[in-house]
Structure 1
Amino acid sequence: MAATSPRRIGLLANPNAGRSRAAGLAREVTAILAGRGHTVVDLSDPDLATARVRVAAAIAAEEIDVLGVFGGDGTVHHAAALCAQTSVTLGIVGTGTGNDNARHLGIPGRDSLRVADFLASAPIRRIDLGRAVTEDGSQWFIGVLGAGFDTKVNDRGKTLTRLHGTPRYLAAVALELRTFTGLEYAVTVDGQRIETRAMLVAVGNGPDFGGGMRVCPDAKVDDGLLDVLIVHQISRGAFLRVFPKVFLGKHLSHPRVQLLRGREVRLESPGIYSQADGEECLPLPMTVHVVPGALTILQP
C-alpha cells in the first residue's frame, strides 16, 4: 500500500472518549479525507461491541486498508486485537484521557488536518504484540499487562467518575494502598522461575500504563522481547517513595524492583485477574508470549 495512493480508510470512534471529542473529530476528518478522494467508511457505533463486529466484518471482507481509531487505550486495545495478523494497518489517534499507546505509536487527536494527513499518508511500521493465553481463552495487548495491585487500582479508578486520566489513577492508588499487602506469585521468564511476594508484576510489550507511568521504561515494541517488572514486597512508606519515580522511569534502581526480559512469561497467583492496556483481561495462571511483527501501524 503506497503512501501516495488513495487509501480505503475505516474509522472507529469511541463516542465516550475524551469527553465525547473523539466522535466530533472523526466527523471532521471524514470530510477532509473524502474531499481528497479517499474512501472513508464510518464503522463507529454508540455500542462498542457492535462497532467491533462492524470492524471485524470490514476487515474480513477486505474493504479497508487502514483502521483509524479515535479513542483512549481501551479503544486502541480492542482495535489492535481486530487488526492483529491481518493486512489492515492501525492508525492511532489519541483522544482518550490516558493515551499511553498513542503517546508513542500514534498522534494526539487535536488538529483535524494533521490527523487527516496522518491517516492518508503516514508510512507503515510493523510492531510486536503481546498475547496472553489461559485454558479458557486468549487476548492480544499492545502496551502493558499487569496482575496485582494495578488491577485493583484499575477497578477502583472506574468508580471515580469525576476524575480523569492521571488524577483518577493517583486517587485510586491512594485508596487501594491503604489495605493492599502484596500477593504470592510464581513468575517464570524463559524458564527462569521466581517465587516471591510482590506488590506488582507487569509484562510490557510497550513502556507505559496508567496515564504516563513508565512502568517498563526500556520496553520496545519491535525488539521481539517482553519486559517483566516485579516490585517485590515493600512497606507502604517505601512504595510511596518509589511510586513517583515511575513517571520518569527512574524506579528500576530500587533494590526491591527487578526487571527481566524474555519471549515467554508464565504468571501464577491464585484468584488474581489481569488487566491489559487498562482493560480487564484474563485470570491467572496465564502464559504471555511476544508475537513479533503481529501488527502494522501508521508511523507518526
Structure 2
Amino acid sequence: MPRAIVLTNPTSGKGRGARMRDEALPRFHGAGWRTTALTGRDADETLDLARVAAAEEPDALVVCGGDGMVNLGLQAVAGTDVPLGILPAGTGNDFARYFDLPLRDGAAAAVRILEGTARTVDLARVGDRYFGGVLAAGFDAVVNERANRMRWPRGQMRYNLATVAELRVFRPLRYLLDLDGTEHELEAMLVAVGNGPSFGGGLRIAHGAELDDGLLDVVLIKPVGRMELIRTFPKLFDGSHVTHPQYEHHRVRRVTVASAGIVGYADGERFGPLPLTVECVPGAVRVIA
C-alpha cells in the first residue's frame, strides 16, 4: 500500500491550504494510499517535520501551500529519492506553475500526484539552502523587504502598495557579479538568478530558463527611467521583455551577486543580505508532475 506524508500550511491563501488538504485526502484514500497528515506550528517546526518525513522514505512527501511551503519541502527531499508532490494553495504558486499543476483544486492536484510520474529537475543552492524558482536581488527584492515591514494590507495588495512606494524613490543599483569566474561591475535596476523562469505569480523574469539543463539563468535589467520600468512591467507576464535593449541574459553554473544594502529573496523567502553565491545542483530533486 503506497504511503504519502502530507504536510500542510493551513494559513496559505487565507485558509485555502487546509481546505485543499481536506479535498485531497479522500482521493488518496480512494486510490488505496495510506496518508499521514502533519501541520507545523511555525516554519522551523514545519521544516523539522519535513525532514523527519523524508527520512521515513514515503512514496511521496506532499506539501500543501504556497511557494514558501514548497521551498521547505525542497530542503527536506533534495538529494534523496523521495519525490515531492504539490497541492498548490498559495498566492503565487510559481513552482507548481512550472509543472502545469492544477491550482487551488485539491482533488485535481491529488489526482495528478496519483497518476503522475516523478520528473528529475535541478535546484539552485545558496550555502546549504535550496530554491527552485528565482532569486530576486534588485528592485523586486527591495519591494519584498518593504512589504514584509508593512502590517496592512494583507495579501497581494500589500506588495502592490510596496511597489508603488519604492518606484517613487528607487535608483539603479551598483552590482559586482562573478559569472563562472568572470567579474562584471555594472549598474542595474535588478539582477535575478533563475533556476526556473518565473516568480511573483507568473512574472517570467527568467523567460527561457529550463529546469533540467544544469545551468542558472542570470537576468539583468540595466538602468531605465521610472515610466519605462512601469511600461515594461506587463511584458514580464509573457516574457516579451527579453527584446528590451536594457535586458541582458547569461547562463552559468555559478554566480555571486553583490550589491550594498540589498537582501536576496528566493521562492518568496528571505535568503539574506548580498553578496550571495548561487550554484546549480543538477538533478537535485524528483517532482511528481
Shared topology, TM-score over 0.5? yes
- Aligned mate of 2:212, from 208, 218, 222: 222
TM-score, normalising length from structure 2? 0.93
AA aligned opposite 2:32: G
Q: Aligned residues: percent identity?
A: 41
AA aligned opposite 2:93: N
- What is the deviation of 1:253? 1.5
Superposed CA offset, 1:239-283 (max 9, x none): 122222112211111121111111111112223210001110122
AA aligned opposite 1:38: W
Name the structure 2 match of 1:164: 155
- Aligned mate of 1:44, from 26, 39, 42: 39
SS at match of 1:239: helix
SS at match of 2:25: helix
AA aligned opposite 2:44: A
Distance (whole Å) between structure 1 residues aligned to residue 217 and residue 56 of structure 2: 36
Name the structure 2 match of 1:280: 270
Distance (whole Å) between structure 1 residues aligned to residue 288 and residue 95 of structure 2: 13
Name the structure 2 match of 1:148: 138
Name the structure 1 match of 2:94: 100
Moved more, 80-89 or 232-241: 232-241
- What is the deviation of 1:161? 4.3
SS at match of 1:107: coil
Superposed CA offset, 1:151-175 (max 9, x none): 111123332643534x544332211
SS at match of 2:191: strand
TM-score, normalising length from structure 1? 0.90
Q: Does the Cα contact within 8 Å between 1:201 and 1:230 map onto a contact in 2?
A: yes
Q: Does the Cα contact within 8 Å between 1:74 and 1:277 map onto a contact in 2?
A: yes
Distance (whole Å) between structure 2 residues aligned to residue 15 and residue 191 of structure 1: 43
- Aligned mate of 1:20, from 12, 15, 18: 15
Name the structure 2 match of 1:84: 78
Name the structure 1 match of 2:197: 207
Q: Does the Cα contact within 8 Å between 1:106 and 1:298 map onto a contact in 2?
A: no
SS at match of 1:70: strand
Q: Unmatched 5+ residue regions in structure 1?
A: 1-5
Distance (whole Å) between structure 2 residues aligned to residue 253 and residue 21 of structure 1: 38
Name the structure 1 match of 2:279: 289
AA aligned opposite 1:162: P
Q: Does the Cα contact within 8 Å between 1:95 and 1:108 map onto a contact in 2?
A: no
- 1:8 aligns to 2:3 (yes or no): yes
Superposed CA offset, 1:1-32 (max 9, x none): xxxxx421011111111110111221232233
Q: CA RMSD in A?
A: 1.8
Name the structure 2 match of 1:34: 29
AA aligned opposite 1:104: Y
- Aligned mate of 2:171, from 176, 181, 184: 181
AA aligned opposite 2:27: I
Label 1:203 to 1:30 Cα distance change in 2 as closer, same or farther (>3 A).
same
Superposed CA offset, 1:112-148 (max 9, x none): 4322322223111000000113xxxx32100000112
- 1:241 aligns to 2:231 (yes or no): yes
- What is the deviation of 1:36? 2.9
Distance (whole Å) between structure 1 residues aligned to residue 112 and residue 247 of structure 2: 39
AA aligned opposite 1:199: M
SS at match of 1:208: coil
Q: Does the Cα contact within 8 Å between 1:91 and 1:106 map onto a contact in 2?
A: no
SS at match of 1:10: strand
SS at match of 2:137: strand
- 1:193 aligns to 2:183 (yes or no): yes
Q: Does the Cα contact within 8 Å between 1:70 and 1:109 map onto a contact in 2?
A: no
Moved more, 208-217 or 237-246: 237-246
- Aligned mate of 1:232, from 212, 219, 222: 222
Distance (whole Å) between structure 2 residues aligned to residue 266 and residue 112 of structure 1: 39
Distance (whole Å) between structure 2 residues aligned to residue 95 and residue 112 of structure 1: 8
AA aligned opposite 1:164: G
Distance (whole Å) between structure 2 residues aligned to residue 211 and residue 116 of structure 1: 21
